[in-house]
Chain A
Amino acid sequence: NAGVTQTPKFRVLKTGQSMTLLCAQDMNHEYMYWYRQDPGMGLRLIHYSVGEGTTAKGEVPDGYNVSRLKKQNFLLGLESAAPSQTSVYFCASSYGLAAQETQYFGPGTRLLVL
C-alpha cells in the first residue's frame, strides 16, 4: 500500500514550457486535491475532484488545468509555466468529504520555473 505518490519529485522548467504532474493513490479514495505551498506559507488549494470525471476550482486555479480520467489518478497541468508558479505542489486524497475525513498527502513535487 503506497498511499499517495507524486511524479516527478523535482523539475526545472523554463518560462513558457508545459508539464504535467501526476498524482496516484491506491486507497480507492473518491476525493483528490492539488495544493501549492510557497516558502513560509500554508497550503493553497488549486483544484480538486470529488470523483472520477469531475473537477472543480479551488482558491488559486489560474494557470493550471486538471483531469481525473481514472479514479486513482489526478493530473495537474501547467500549459505555459511562469516564474510565479515556482512552488512545492502537494497532492492529497480522502475517502469522503475532506472536511469530515482525514486527508492523506503525497511527498510533494518541487517545481522551479526559470
Chain B
Amino acid sequence: SQQGEEDPQALSIQEGENATMNCSYKTSINNLQWYRQNSGRGLVHLILIRSNEREKHSGRLRVTLDTSKKSSSLLITASRAADTASYFCAPYHTGRRALTFGSGTRLQVQP
C-alpha cells in the first residue's frame, strides 16, 4: 500500500493539552503532507515536510520526519476545541501522480 497509516485511530484530550499523532509508511518518500478534515468538510492542507527535513513548525503545529523509521509525527500544542477534527498524513512516493490518504486520526478536544 502506498498510503500512510495514522496512529492512534482516535484521541481524546482536554483543552490546553498537547496532541500527538503518528504516521507510518512503507516505501521511501520525497515528502509527506498533513491535512485536517473538520466534520462534514473537505480536507485542508496543514504542512508539507520534505524528505531532507527532520522537523518543521507552523504556528502551534510541529511535524517531524524520520525517514530511517519511515514515520512522521504531528504535534499540536496547547490544543483548542476548534482543533477537533480528523488528521490525515499523505506520503508522496516517487513516480506517483497523486496523493493517497489513510483512515486518519480522529482528535476530540474537550473544552
Contacts and interface: CB of A to CB of B under 8 A. Distances in A.
Contact of A100 (B31, B93, B102, B103): B31
A108 B101 CA distance: 16
A106 B42 CA distance: 6
Given A41-B103, A42-B3, A42-B104, A108 B97 contact: no
A28 B100 CA distance: 23
Interface stretch (A43-51, A64-72, A75-83): A43-51
A90 interface: yes
Main secondary structure of the interface of B (DSSP, over half): loop
Contact of B43 (A40, A44, A59, A90): A90
Contacts, number: 62
Interface residues of A, number: 27
A5 to B, nearest CB: 11
27 contacts: A41-B103, A42-B3, A42-B88, A42-B102, A42-B103, A43-B43, A43-B101, A45-B100, A58-B98, A90-B43, A92-B42, A92-B43, A97-B97, A99-B96, A99-B98, A99-B99, A100-B30, A102-B45, A103-B33, A103-B45, A103-B99, A104-B45, A105-B42, A107-B41, A107-B42, A108-B40, A108-B42
